[in-house]
Amino acid sequence: MFTQKQINDMEQVQIVKTSYKNLTNGMRGSFKLSDGTKTKFEVFENGEVKQSGTTEANLSVTFPYLIELVHFFTNQ
């Protein structure tokens, strides 16, 4: 469970910059968040997702974007 402070922090954190590189079988990139953290990710055509650097509290910020990328690659 999250504390009220963690919930408030999650509501305030946003993605401020996205950078990516297309791969032959997906995409590799990173999200820079408004709290100064950076999340690196890889999304593959088979639906596999790898991410690192996200604090548990920021998963709710980055996860929806990664799911959109998975849908993009698996529905083509």
pLDDT at 17: 93
Q: What are the structural domain ranges in the chain? A: 4-74
Type of residue at 7: I
The secondary structure of 29-52 as a DSSP string is EEEEETTS-EEEEEEETTS-EEEE
For the stretch 2-50, pLDDT in tens is: 677 666 655 688 889 999 999 998 899 999 998 888 989 999 888 888 8
